[in-house]
Amino acid sequence: MNMWAFLFGRMSAYPDSLLFDGEEQCTYQQMLEQVRKVGDALAGACPAGTKCAVLCGRGLHTAQALLACWYADMVPIPMSVHYGRGHWDGIIAGTQPALLITDLEQSDLHIPRYHMGEKRFWTEKPVPAPDPQLEGAAVILCTSGTTGTPKGVVLSAWGVQQNVEKIRRYFAVKSKDRILIARPLYHCAVLIGEFLTALCGGLDIGFLDEKYSPAAVLQFTKNHKISVLGGTPTLFYHLAAFIRRDGQQSHRIRAIAISGECLHEAAARQIRQGFPGTDIYHVYGLTEAGPRVSWLPPRDFDQVPTSAGIPLAGVQIKIAETDGTPLPAYTHGHIFVRTPCRMIGYYNDPEATDRAFLDGWLDTGDIGYQDALGYLFILSRADDRIIQGGMNIYPQEVEAGLAQLPFIQECMVWGAAGAVGQHIAAAVVLRPENLDMTHKEVLSRMAEALPPYQIPSELQIVEMLPRNASGKIVRRRPTCTR
Amino acid sequence: MEIKNTVLHAVSQLSAVPQEQICPADTLSSVGIHSIKTVELIVALEDSLGVTFAVEDLDPENLTSVEDVISLAERYKGR
């Protein structure tokens, strides 16, 4: 079944459920009518299988654009306005969409555009470019890559639908619930775990388009009687801090889903204090797995809050050596997943796709263990990836940006532990003619050169970077500063 | 002066820049305070100043410089 047939059938069962943001609201029935109009315009210009980037400032527009792409049997590539021009350029260069759907007035990305606000093509109609390798694909979701170029994860329509249905089996939400989507639909967990799951369950869906602002999230939940919310441990930790000062009766949220970062015991306790009567689902997944892999039943949260729980129905988890040899309970190892929702592969990168799988098992790149009951615990990454506020950032991406600065001779970036998750730390060696630069001057120039989410929170100016015996840089905090 | 120093200290605790190099005219981003760190700054200031900022005063668009944060803190301590 293609995406549109799947979604149309489910949305049609809830014609009066609502989609809304701070500016407007519409029923599912009205959304279906709007989607048909936009989708007909797209279908008239692009054959099935055409790739289409989506870059909208409003979540409601993004939702409508994605649905219109599926109506027209196109393959959408969601992007986020929060991550900046370099990020968009990387995605467009890597995936080569034929069309961009946007609601931005100033977008100067040089590909044919359909304007979501005006509902018309702004530039010449696209040159159709269906791609045979996207047969059966629902979406291309881009994740960070070690080279700084985003990797496009191609998910199949069948896999996406399976993941939605598997999530709905355990996530006890109903059509009378109201969910707030406070993060971009660019993120797989938000698109599939929140938006599509809510849409298929007939929930009222609110979008908050502000940049990271727990205060605004809390205000929105109060104003719009939100009962369901998804987010990272960082978001819920900050929400708990704001709720604590307002008193416990400051929200009506009855179910939350936490994902995107390792959840530590202390942060879990803070979150529970802010959400004392709430069902807390600690869930785990990754884009390549479609995304959801496991969930912790809410009844277990207070006993084992740091556990990412048990696999979804039909999903298998294996803790193993790097060669796939299984390890016994409580032994730390690589987390492998076998799931019917797995990606088709990385777009245009069969070698990377081959490397991601071992005998049909997806190598998550995460390290963890299972207890005797099979409950999963995530400990760290097998590689250097930094997870800051749920955003995946490879040190190499930041280093590539820093290397462009003329006063930096060499640099190194790593993930340092913060109050909840990780933050970016950097050590730099200045060129001899720039040794008088202060921390402030260096950081200020970094802030001009890097997208906001890549600016280091910690900076060391050092005389040399730590290296091992063979001269390779060792990615850890230097012991000697200048 | 006391509030200004409290804010500068709080900023320096979250920034990679030492307190003596931070001045009110600096933008928060120029000293490495991005959106998540801004929230941590607000929470830290509420604790140290014993105040509760109203949500409408916490719009990130209105809190772009160290001076903005000092002004916010002074308004609440002056109440």
* Closest of A415, A391, A50, A325 to residue B36, by C-alpha: A391
Cα separation, A296 vs A19, in Å, equals: 28
pLDDT score, position A323: 94
Inter-chain CB proximity A211 and B60 less than 8 Å: yes
Select from B15, B21, B22, B55 the residue whose CB has the most chain A CBs within 10 Å, as the one to mutate to test that interface: B55
Torsion (CA) A345, A347, A350, A353 in degrees, nearest 10 = -40
Beta strand residue intervals within A195-353, DSSP E:
204-207, 228-231, 255-258, 279-285, 292-296, 307-311, 316-320, 333-338, 345-346
Which residues in A lie closer than 8 A to residue B15 (C-beta atoms)?
A: 443, 457
Is A263 or A145 the better-scoring residue by pLDDT? Answer: A263
Q: How near does any CA of chain A get to the CA of B26, in Å?
A: 9
**pLDDT tens digits for range B41-77:** 998 999 889 888 888 888 888 899 999 999 999 998 7
Cα separation, B63 vs A49, in Å, equals: 44
Select from B14, B34, B43 the residue whose CB has the most chain A CBs within 10 Å, as the one to mutate to test that interface: B34
Average pLDDT over residues A303-329: 96
pLDDT score, position A150: 83
The model's confidence at residue A425, banded by pLDDT at 50, 70 and 90, is: very high
Burial degree of A242 (CB within 10 A; 0-12, 13-18, 19+): buried
Q: Which CATH class is domain A3-370?
A: alpha beta
Domains of chain A, residue spans? 3-370, 388-461
DSSP labels, A386-407: EEETTEEE-HHHHHHHHTTSTT
Is residue A419 pLDDT above 80, yes or no? no
Which residues in B lie closer than 8 A to residue A440 (C-beta atoms)?
A: 17, 21-22, 26, 30-31
Architecture per CATH, domain A388-461, reads as 2-Layer Sandwich (3.30)
The question of ipTM being above 0.90 is answered as: no
pLDDT score, position A276: 92
CA-nearest residue to A218 within chain B is B55
pLDDT score, position A287: 96
Cα separation, A294 vs A68, in Å, equals: 30
Is A196 or A216 the better-scoring residue by pLDDT? Answer: A196
Q: How near does any CA of chain B get to the CA of A356, in Å?
A: 32
Write out the residues of chain A at the interface with chain B, using a CB-CB cutoff of 8 A: 210-216, 218-219, 234, 238, 241-242, 245-246, 388-389, 419, 423, 426, 438-440, 443-444, 446-447, 452-453, 455-459
Strand pairing class (A228-231; A255-258): parallel
Residues in Cβ contact with A268 at an 8 Å cutoff, skipping those fewer than 6 apart: A233, A282, A301, A305, A306
Which residues in A lie closer than 8 A to residue B59 (C-beta atoms)?
A: 213, 216
Cα separation, B36 vs A235, in Å, equals: 9
Q: Choose the closest CB to B52 out of A213, A245, A440.
A: A245
* Closest of B68, B69, B65, B16 to residue B44, by C-alpha: B69
Segment of A70-84, A157-171, A246-260 carrying the highest mean pLDDT: A157-171
- pTM above threshold 0.80: yes
Q: Which CATH class is domain B2-77?
A: mainly alpha
Cα separation, A371 vs A187, in Å, equals: 29
Cα separation, A470 vs A448, in Å, equals: 35
Residue holding tokens 């704001």? A242
The model's confidence at residue A251, banded by pLDDT at 50, 70 and 90, is: confident
* Window B:11-30, CB contacts with A under 8 Å: 14-18, 21-22, 26-27, 29-30
Residue A78 CB neighbours (<10 A): 26
Is A110 or A138 the better-scoring residue by pLDDT? Answer: A138
Residue B5 CB neighbours (<10 A): 11
